[in-house]
Amino acid sequence: MRSVRDFTAGVGFFFQGFGWVARNTRWWLFGLIPALIAFALYAAALVFLGTNASAVAEFLTPFADSWSWRELFRTLVGIALFMGGLVLAVLTFAALTLAIGEPFYEKLSAAADVLESEEEQPWWRTLPRSIRDSLVTLFFVLMFTIPLFFLGFVPVVGQTVVPVLGALVSGFFLTVELTTLALERRGLARKQRFALLRANKASALGFGVAVFLLFLVPFVAVIAMPAAVAGAALLVRSRLAPVP
């Protein structure tokens, strides 16, 4: 039961983030700018993938040339490629947006999570480390999502269990990305951040799954990004690393 309560509490922190940006609309409006830039990049990439999915599927499946049902098979492969691209876009949207808007989101996180003392570094010094950490996180994401992608073709399991596991994995790693700013301000390195989130897995999953599901809705991710950053800061402040 405690895990359920913690999961629900994690979801609640995301909505607390919405409440925070609603009370501080200036931060929300500025937070839209990097999110809009990232959204435009991903939209262009997904449109390109969608219009060329059939050609890519044909290129990847030369072994199906002699099959009587090759068109159906390649259509399914094309759909799977596009869906995989969509999920990857959702998973990396936060990382790219945070990288684009690093200076601003640092200030937003600090405004939502005020500390008496913190480790301050210029954004141009933290940016390379943030990119490196995001790439490490992406590696772990792919390590889980690639097997899930192929399991998605398994009848029944692929349509029931896999989407749930995918949402949980994606949600956890979204929380990893979004809590980085607040945890770095507390001087926690990547391994320490991972350990802290694993120790508070239910809360991390609740927050991340809520973000993941909302980010699946086109353009909503742009609107919700500032709230996600604020909510992550509140999650860290209240649950993961409370201020004494």
Domain ranges of the chain: 2-50+88-240
Nearest-angstrom CA–CA distance, 184 and 118: 9
Predicted confidence at residue 15, as pLDDT, reads: 93
Predicted confidence at residue 89, as pLDDT, reads: 84
Higher pLDDT, 48 or 65: 48
Tens digit of each residue's pLDDT (9 = 90 or more) over 205-226: 999 999 999 888 877 888 898 9
Instruction: Count CA within 13 A, CB hemisphere, residue 4.
Output: 1
Tens digit of each residue's pLDDT (9 = 90 or more) over 66-113: 888 888 888 888 888 888 888 788 778 877 888 887 778 888 888 888
Tens digit of each residue's pLDDT (9 = 90 or more) over 118-173: 556 665 666 676 677 777 777 887 888 788 877 777 777 777 888 888 889 989 98
pLDDT band at 242 (very low <50, low <70, confident <90, very high): low
Predicted confidence at residue 200, as pLDDT, reads: 93
Expressed in angstroms, the distance from the first to the final Cα of the chain is: 27
What is the percent of the chain with per-residue pLDDT over 70, rounded to a whole number?
92
Nearest-angstrom CA–CA distance, 5 and 203: 8
Nearest to 184 by CA among 176, 175, 193, 174: 193
Nearest-angstrom CA–CA distance, 212 and 177: 12
Predicted confidence at residue 117, as pLDDT, reads: 63
User: At residue 161, what is the residue type?
Assistant: V
> Considering the entire predicted model, what is its pTM?
0.80
Is residue 243's pLDDT more than 70? no
Residue-wise burial string across 114-133, b where 16 or more C-beta atoms lie within 10 A, e elsewhere? eeeeeeeeeeeebeeebeeb
